[in-house]
Amino acid sequence: MFSNLQKKWHVNAAQVLLILCTFTLGGSITGYAGRKIMYFIPINSGVLWVIVYIILVSLLWPLAVLLVSYPLGQYNFFKHYIYKIGVRLGIMKTKKINLAVFASGGGSNAEKIFEYFKNHSRIKVSLLICNKQHAGVLAIAKQFNIPVQIIERGLFLQGDAYLPILKEKNIQFIALAGFLWKMPPALIKAYPGKIVNIHPALLPKYGGKGFYGHHVHEAVIAHGEAESGITIHYVDEVYDHGETIFQATCPVMPGDTAQTLATRVLELEHTHFSQILEKTILTNT
């Protein structure tokens, strides 16, 4: 019943209920308080009364819903909701959305992302998380002046060890661009619907543990597939499993090696990842 709202707001069914309760209670408090306050405002003209009342409830409403949202555990949702309305009305300035890129290797996708968002009006790449001391992506981040955090396996797998760093940089969205470690549940929970991965094959085929790098392309060729491609998907607790956001295909040519197929697939990644990321971030934050 609430599935559209769940999708739109990226919350679960219980949260939809709590959000709707907040709207209702906040609205009632606003109406009640508005009328009480109007008793003390000496206005004779009916039209003027209505105008002042509308202004008053418009000011009271955000306060009332924020107040109610707190005990109902929906404060963050409403803070963000009211901020968005403020931006639309031109009352508040847009703050850039901070994106963290996670990468383990050469970083050609990360580079495309850094380039794409370099002068973006709404999104800023604020952090690169990397698990390898000498990964090529580190030099690329340096060129773009992007702060880097090298992470350590034991701590990362604990789950929330690196959350303070992400929070300190106010990271709101995460892109996995060739990041080989599995995301721990605590991170996924901290960023629900806000972590996106790119996989160099058409999921659900050729995904999961062990399907990375050349292994993916070798399997595609070995199975005699006529086409391969890319999948951009949300990240959940299972490898290469979250909801698909976008796929693009390319042919597998006779005589293809893992290397030639990888080059064709990588081209697709470079063409699409940043744009799909942009769309996904802007609709989900």
Name the site residues for ligand GRF (rule: CB under 6 A): 103, 105-110, 177-178, 198-200, 266, 269
Asked if 13 and 6 touch (Cβ cutoff 8 Å), the reply is yes
> Which position among 199, 217, 233, 272 bears the catalytic label?
199
Minimum CB separation of residue 217 from ligand GRF in Å reads 9
**Residue number, 53 or 116, with CB nearest to ligand GRF:** 116
Tokens at residue 80, please? 């963000």
Minimum CB separation of residue 243 from ligand GRF in Å reads 17
**Residue number, 60 or 216, with CB nearest to ligand GRF:** 216
**Residue number, 68 or 196, with CB nearest to ligand GRF:** 196
CA-based nearest residue to 122, from 95, 149, 158: 95
Asked if 183 and 195 touch (Cβ cutoff 8 Å), the reply is yes
Minimum CB separation of residue 57 from ligand GRF in Å reads 50
**Residue number, 7 or 118, with CB nearest to ligand GRF:** 118
CA distance 48 to 55: 11
Minimum CB separation of residue 164 from ligand GRF in Å reads 26
**Residue number, 15 or 131, with CB nearest to ligand GRF:** 131
- Closest residue to ligand GRF in the complex (CB): 178
Asked if 165 and 143 touch (Cβ cutoff 8 Å), the reply is no
**Residue number, 135 or 166, with CB nearest to ligand GRF:** 135
CA distance 262 to 229: 9
Q: What share of the chain is helix, strand, coil (3-state, %, to 5)?
A: 50, 15, 35
Minimum CB separation of residue 269 from ligand GRF in Å reads 5
Q: Would you call 202 helix, strand, or coil by DSSP?
A: coil
Count of beta carbons in the 10 Å neighbourhood of residue 226: 9
Who's near 219: CB < 8 A, 6+ residues apart? 206, 211
108: exposed, middle or buried (Cβ count in 10 Å: 0-12, 13-18, 19+): middle
Minimum CB separation of residue 281 from ligand GRF in Å reads 18
Look at strands 97-103 and 244-251 and give their pairing. Answer: unpaired
The answer to whether 120 is a known catalytic residue is no
Asked if 276 and 248 touch (Cβ cutoff 8 Å), the reply is no
Strand order in the sheet with 195-199: 148-150, 123-130, 97-103, 171-176, 195-199, 227-234, 244-251
Active-site residue list:
199
